Amino acid sequence: MNEIVVVGSGVMGRGIAYVAAASGFPTSVVDVSADALKSAEEAIHQFFRKGVARGKVSEEEATVALRKLAFTQDLEAVARSADLIIEAVPERAKLKQQVFEIVGRSAKASCIFATNTSTMSPTEIASFGGRPERTIAMHFFNPVHKMPLVEIVRGLETSDETVKYIESIARSMGKETVTIKEFPGFVTSRMSALVGNEAFYMLQEGLGTAEEIDKAIKLGLNYPMGPFELADLVGLDARLNNLRYLHEKLGEKYRPAPLLEQYVKAGRLGRKSGKGVYEYTNEGAVSK
């Protein structure tokens, strides 16, 4: 079975690691932060408990998967035996570069590199790891275990074999795929960033409360979540990083709303910090 390493154990990394492990892949989770790793380990155990309770994973599959799941700060060590490395560190080129330089030095020649970037160029990211034909964007969605899509984006030199390999891995994780051409923001983040940013401009302009704007979009446009509910789930910092990148690459229409910048400065990052546009209790319930 292919050995998978997930780099970054935040909102996305832990979800990808859970789905990989639950699909039977021996999976290692890497983070620079020991605290993040500990919290990811607890979260993944919890995902398995819920998965078993809901009948999504059998008790036995969960036990086997957990036995094949490792948590470490030593990327070089786990990269050596990996068949697929999926990077899920924050959306900043410098951080992605650090990761791909390390794995470019330590992974075996056949190993495939994937980035979970929401917006950035897989061609640029491929240049950091030194194996462009084996590098690709594999864009999962949040929450990973619930969202059916993986958006696959090939870089300039990504080989057809790499595309086929990633499509088959995504399918074995129970996901649907779309494989598209490289463009900042791809299909999904380009659209989602625009809608989410517009909602912050509306809130800033006083059109309505966050609840009213969310309700209007959900019931009027038939979106499953309001833009603020989604922003809190994604993380306001992650949303802001996406917008900054898209603003730089695509121009004015992606300029981040000043209110979003303010929220991030205040540490209101969404569900993960307990407060974003809305406030959350420990149980995750919203107290509006």
Binding letters toward ligand NAD, positions 78-97, x by CB under 6 A: ----------xxxx---x--
Residue labelled with tokens 């999504």: 56
Binding letters toward ligand NAD, positions 124-163, x by CB under 6 A: ----------------xxx---------------------
Distances (CA, A) of 199 to 159, 188, 280: 39, 17, 20
- 27 lines the binding site for ligand NAD (CB under 6 A): no
- Rounded to whole angstroms, the Cα distance separating 10 from 12 reads 6
Q: CB–CB of 62/48 below 8 Å?
A: yes
CB of 176 to ligand NAD, least distance (A): 16
Binding letters toward ligand NAD, positions 168-197, x by CB under 6 A: ------------------------------
DSSP codes, 126-137: HHHHT-GGGEEE
Residue choice 4, 5, 6, 12 for contact with ligand NAD (CB under 6 A): 12
- 11 lines the binding site for ligand NAD (CB under 6 A): yes
Residue choice 238, 243, 246, 277 for contact with ligand NAD (CB under 6 A): 238
CA dihedral 45, 175, 274, 51 (to 10 degrees): -30
Tokens standing for residue 210:
């966050």
Using only C-alpha atoms, the chain has a radius of gyration, in whole angstroms, of 19
Tell me how long the chain is.
288
- Rounded to whole angstroms, the Cα distance separating 91 from 180 reads 20
Residue choice 5, 6, 36, 170 for contact with ligand NAD (CB under 6 A): 36
Say how many residues touch ligand NAD, by CB under 6 A: 28
- Rounded to whole angstroms, the Cα distance separating 78 from 192 reads 34
Tell me whether residue 22 or residue 29 sits nearer to ligand NAD (CB atom). 29
- Rounded to whole angstroms, the Cα distance separating 92 from 241 reads 7
- 32 lines the binding site for ligand NAD (CB under 6 A): yes
Tell me whether residue 233 or residue 259 sits nearer to ligand NAD (CB atom). 233
The binding site for ligand NAD (CB under 6 A) comprises 7-13, 30-33, 36, 88-91, 95, 98-99, 116-118, 140-142, 234-235, 238
